[in-house]
Structures are given as structure tokens and as C-alpha cells.
Chains A and B, each alone.
Chain A
Amino acid sequence: MSENTIIEIINLSKTYRGGKKAAINDISLKIEKGEVFGLLGPNGAGKTTTISILCGFFAPTHGEVYIDGLSVTKDKEQIKSIIGIVPQDIALYPTLTAYENLRFIGRMYGLKGKILKDRITKYMDLLGLDESTGKKVGEFSGGMKRSVNLIAGLLHDPKIVILDEPTVGVDVQSRNLIVQYLYELNKSGTTIIYTSHYLQEAEYLCKRVAFIDNGNIITLGTPKDLVLGNQGCKDLEEVFLKLTGKDLRD
């Protein structure tokens, strides 16, 4: 693993128990430090499975993943401290206030006292939620929930942030705010792995993207190179449709 590589995926496969085919099949890739890497693909392509293995939630069937030099199978607990997860679902308690949710999550990452309080205040301010700290999350708009969900993954200042469709179902303004914030976050040196169905967003944010379909990486490169390399395609969305087809997915 080179000095600049923060994540190395080697021949990774995952077949769920009782599954007829592999959810991901022998994929290998490297992600550089400070990179925003897009993992894009249609529904059921294997994105969430890949992310779940990176987080240590599932064990791979074959292969190995190294994060910052640590093995996801052997050094799971150490890896958990250096990554921040922003799941696709709003992984918050709706009857708790934003502050109570974030205080709980921060404490579970070992933060406490003034440090924790200051971080919650800082992130709530940055995402324009400073006046909603004491409100129950269940009473928030979709965009506000997404923002708190994002903060929950950032509270412990992780080296790597893994985002699974962080802007799904939010209005344009909220999406813009989140994307801008991720852009700023990356500028401060945080590595971001990002999945989304919004390819414009990915094109703007990601240094490199991998298209994944049927558990295989079908292409990998910078958005610009991918567009240029596929004749007749004007943007990443057209490349995506060209490579993954127009058939509806589950």
C-alpha cells in the first residue's frame, strides 16, 4: 500500500447466505488520501454492500480491504474510529432532539464534555441548524434531517467519511448546502467516499468515480476522462446510461 493510498480493496467478493449470485464480485481499487471518490451504479449494483464491508458491518466472502493500513477483518475496532458513516437512512432517533441525538453519537465515539458540546454547536452552525438544536428530529424537514444525519457521521472528525446517498429526497437548497459543505470538508483534507444517483452532484464533487453494476466495476476514472472516453456522451449521466443500459432495475 503506497503512502498516498488510504483505502485499498483487493479482490473483494461478497455472496449473501442463500444468495444465488455475488453481490460484489472480485473488485479491486485504491482510493487516495484526500480524494472524493464516487461509487456510482444503479439499484442493486453492489454499492451499499461495498460500503457496508468498508464500515465493518459485513465480513467479505473473499478478498481484503485495508483502510489506513488496517485490515477491515482484523482491525475492525480501530478502523471504526477513523471512519465516519452517513447512511442512506436517517439513522437518528426521531423523538430525541438534534442535540440529544448528536450527544449520544458523540459519546459513543468517546467524546465528552465541552469538546463534544463545541463540536455539536460548530457543525449545527455550519449547516444552518443552530436554532433547531433543541427541536425533536422527527419534527425536522427532510433537508434538516439529512444535515443532522451528516453531522452525526462527522462529529468525531474522521479521516474518511463514507456517504451513502446523502442527498436523497431533499430539496435543491438543502442538497446544495450539503454538497457545498462536503466540498469544504474535502478541502480540509478529509477523504470522502460517496454514492449517489445524482450524477451531476458526483461530477461536481468527485475527483474519480467508479461505475459498479452487477457486483463488478465496469469503469473507473475522473468524470472528465469518462465523458471524453465515451463518444457521444456529453456528461456523466449519459456515460452511466451507456454503460449500465436503460433497463429498469429493482
Chain B
Amino acid sequence: MNKFFASFVKEILLLIRDRAGIISLFVMPVVLVFVMTLIEDTALNSLVDKQITMLFCNTQNDSLGIAIKNGLNETKAFTIIEEVDGQKLNKETTKKLVSQGKYPVGIYIPEGATDTLASNAKKVVLKTFSDIGLGKQNAVAPKYDSVVIDVFYDPAVKNALKAVVDGAIGQHSSIIVGKMISKMYTEILSSFLPGGKKLNVNYPQMISINKEYASAKDNTIIPNSTQHNVPSWTLFAMFFILIPLSGSIIQEKDGGTYLRLMTMPSTFISTFLGKIVVYILVCLLQVTILFSMGVYLLPFAGLPALQIGTHFDALVLVVFVSGFAAVGFGVLMGSLATTYQQAASVGVIVIIILASLGGLWMPIYFMPKTMQNLTQYSPLSWSLKSFYDLFLRNADVKDVLPNVFKIVMFGTSLFIVGFVYKALKKVR
């Protein structure tokens, strides 16, 4: 224990005095997480449920306009703006603001839209009764006035958004028209009833949509830039301990301290254990700092807060095994490389490749299908998927165990290869 403690204290002191190492382990990841989350916020939010700001001009507070507005509000996909700079919108300003690219969508409800619809509905009903021989007989077919709702789109707006807006307008207009026609039928039919009775027709809701996330757990967290970038770049930073860790191993080899350590009455593993434990603790500290930043600081920059789910035990497990694998990678590179430059350059390139394949740089769903299939072979993707499971699906220990097992196997293999290579090299 005394030897482990000695090695542990020595490693802590070496790390604390390595300013470049401290910067690469703690300062750079903080900057990286912050910058990448900000950069990817817009890109990722176009794919997820961020509200889109929309201009809405309903000059006469028309009922049709109100119904469409309420319908759009119910989708929770839009933030509706009816005034700009304290001025009520009109058709021209709405179109101009959208054409200037200041807003993606603008809707203009024409004056008297509801009256026109009501008039059309009335004509439809009267025509029906006329056709079956009830009411006034008309020789000519009625003339319907059309209601034109203007929707202005920024050219950059995606088709999916256009479909949502068009669909919402069409749906709520149809509902209004349907209600008008139904009301009118009811009123006219009531006039045929004896004793001034009124017909009361209730239309039950015949179709309902059940929305549910395709995961085992109930979950209200929606993936966003924070949920992707914070765990991704935290993992990246954890694997970057390769630089100080392999540097420390190579420095010991080059400087002769390794030879001294190997001639001391302590086993190879106990000498190394202090180093391994310190660097796993570094990983835990990195995660604590970066996740805390995600939870508490990112919201101050207008970014969503990181939501870490409710299973803290599962989170600690995933962080610990990811740190174990990261340290294993550092040990492997420190053992294989003959110079610090070799370890740093080759190691960093390997991390970048694994990170790209693992979906750290670019979320997996952005990738082509073949690349998406390849991600399952990147150990970094196992960790990232576990974090996704924890943050997005509120997974528990049991749910993350398959990936945790794979990460532990990967980390253990790295340690074994590193130690065996080191031992073989020593024996020569």
C-alpha cells in the first residue's frame, strides 16, 4: 500500500507540474465543448424540436386566423410573432421581413376570411337542401368566393418545415369549414323539428394519435446540441490523456527512471497502478467539470442545459469504464511508441479516427448508411451510445451493461497488449 501511495503521490505531483498537460486535459476540453456546442446548436436544432419563429399577420383578428394560430401554437414547433418593433404586421411588412431573411416564415390571413368561409359554407348547405327538394329551389349553381391565405417562405427553408406549415393551415382551415357547415346543417335541420326544438349533434373524437418514444422508458428529454456535444467532446478529452500519460511512460523509459523502477523491490503492476489510478481519477474529474459545465454554464450562453438522467449509478459506471479504456489506450501508446512525438502524433490520429467513426464529430444519423454500420466497431461509439441511453432514454445500469462490457473488454485488451509488449521489450 505504501508503494502504491508513493507512486500515486509521485504521479499527482508530476501531473500538477505539467502545465501543458493540465491545459490539454482540462482547459482545452472546456473551450472545445463550449465552442462545439455553440457551433452545432443551429445545425442540430434544425433536426430536432427547436421552435421556429414565424410572422403571423391576422389584421382583423379573424376567427379563421385565430384558429390557425391556435393550431400552430399547439404543435409547439413555432414561436408566433404578430408585432415587430411595436408595429402590427401587415401583408407588405410580413413579406418584406421574410424576404430579408429575418424570419423563415410569414403567414397573412386576408380580411374577411371567416365571413367568406361562412358564406361559402352557407351556400354549400343551402345547395344540398335545395338538391333534395327542401328549402328554396335555385336554378343556377351558387358561386363560391375563395379565401387566399398567403404564406411567405425564406428560400432556405426546408421542405419539411413547409409541409408542417401548409399542413397546419390546411388542417385548421378544414376544421373551421367543417364546423361551420355542421353548425349550419344543425340549424336548418332544427327548423324542421316541431315545437322549436333544437337539434344537438355531438361529434366524438374519432381518431386520436398516440405519441410515444420508441424506448423502454418514459422520457421527456429531447436530443439537442448539448446532449450530443458534451458527452462527445468529454470522451474525446478523456482519450486525450494519451498525451500526458504516454509522455510520462516514455519519459520514464528515456530518462532511466523506468530501469530504476524495475530494479526496485516492487512488482511491475504495483508500480504502474499509481499511474493508472491517477489518470482514471483525471478522467472522472474531466467528466465532472465538463458535465457540470453542461448542466450549469451552457444555459447562460443560450444553450440547452445538459440533462443527465436519473440513474447516477449507471452514469458513474459508464464514466469509469470509459476512463479505464482511455487510460488503457494511453498505456498502450506509451508502451508501443519509442518517442513522445510518435505517441502524440500516432495516438492523436487514432483518436480522431475512432472519434469520427464513433459519431463524436458528427452525429451518427448525419452519416451515410455504410458509415453508420461502421460506427458499431468504434469503442468511442459504445461509450457515446451509453451516454445517449442515459441522457435521452433515462437508461439504468442493466440497459447500459452490454456496451459497458464491450468497453471493459476493449480497455483490458489495451492494458494487456501494452504490458505484454513492455515486458517482451524488456526481456529482449
Contact = CB atoms under 8 A, between A and B. Distances in A.
Nearest to A106: B6
B13 A100 contact: yes
A241 to B, nearest CB: 29
Contacts of A105: 260, 264
B6, B259, B265, B427: residue with the most chain A Cβ atoms closer than 10 Å = B265
Contacts of A96: 10, 13-14, 17
A168 interface: no
A107 B257 contact: no
Interface residues of A, number: 34
A25 B326 CA distance: 44
A93 B263 CA distance: 16
A90 interface: yes
A211 B427 CA distance: 26
Contacts of A77: 265
B256 A110 contact: no
Interface in A96-120: 96, 100, 103-105, 107-110, 112
Interface residues of B, number: 27
A171 to B, nearest CB: 21
A85 B256 CA distance: 11
Interface string B103-143: 00000000000000000000000000000000000000000
A96, A104, A152: residue with the most chain B Cβ atoms closer than 10 Å = A104
A70 interface: no
A59 B254 CA distance: 21
20 contacts: A57-B259, A58-B428, A77-B265, A83-B263, A85-B259, A87-B256, A87-B259, A89-B259, A91-B257, A91-B259, A95-B17, A96-B14, A96-B17, A104-B6, A107-B6, A108-B261, A108-B265, A108-B266, A109-B265, A110-B2
A87 B252 CA distance: 13
A55 B259 CA distance: 9
Interface string B1-12: 011011101100
Given A89-B255, A107-B5, A57 B262 contact: yes
Nearest to B10: A104
Interface string B27-50: 000000000000000000000000
Given A58-B427, A58-B428, A108 B7 contact: yes
A58 B425 CA distance: 10
Contacts of B257: 91-93
Contacts of A91: 255-257, 259-260
Smallest CB-CB A-B distances: 8 pairs? A89-B256, A107-B6, A91-B256, A80-B265, A91-B260, A95-B17, A55-B263, A104-B10
B264 A109 contact: yes
A52 B263 CA distance: 9
Contacts of A59: 427
Given A77-B265, A92-B255, 16 more contacts: A52-B259, A55-B259, A57-B263, A58-B426, A87-B260, A88-B256, A91-B256, A92-B257, A93-B14, A93-B257, A94-B255, A100-B13, A105-B264, A107-B6, A109-B264, A110-B265
B426 A108 contact: no
A104 B11 CA distance: 10
A85, A88, A91, A112: residue with the most chain B Cβ atoms closer than 10 Å = A91
B271 interface: yes
B218 interface: no
Interface in B379-428: 426-428
- Chief secondary structure at chain B's binding surface: helix
B5, B10, B256, B263: residue with the most chain A Cβ atoms closer than 10 Å = B263
A56 interface: yes
Interface in B235-291: 254-257, 259-266, 271
B83 interface: no
Contact of A107 (B2, B255, B263): B2
A15 to B, nearest CB: 9
B18 interface: yes
B427 A93 contact: no
A160 B272 CA distance: 26
Contact of B9 (A55, A85, A104, A109): A104
A185 B204 CA distance: 104
Contacts of B259: 52, 55, 57, 85, 87, 89, 91
B3 A107 contact: yes
B2 A85 contact: no
A112 B428 CA distance: 35
B2 to A, nearest CB: 6
A143 B225 CA distance: 57
Contact of B428 (A16, A55, A92): A16
A56 B265 CA distance: 11
A29 to B, nearest CB: 21
B202 to A, nearest CB: 82
A17 B423 CA distance: 13
Contacts of B3: 107-108, 110
A81 interface: yes
Nearest to B259: A87
A91 B258 CA distance: 8
A215 to B, nearest CB: 15
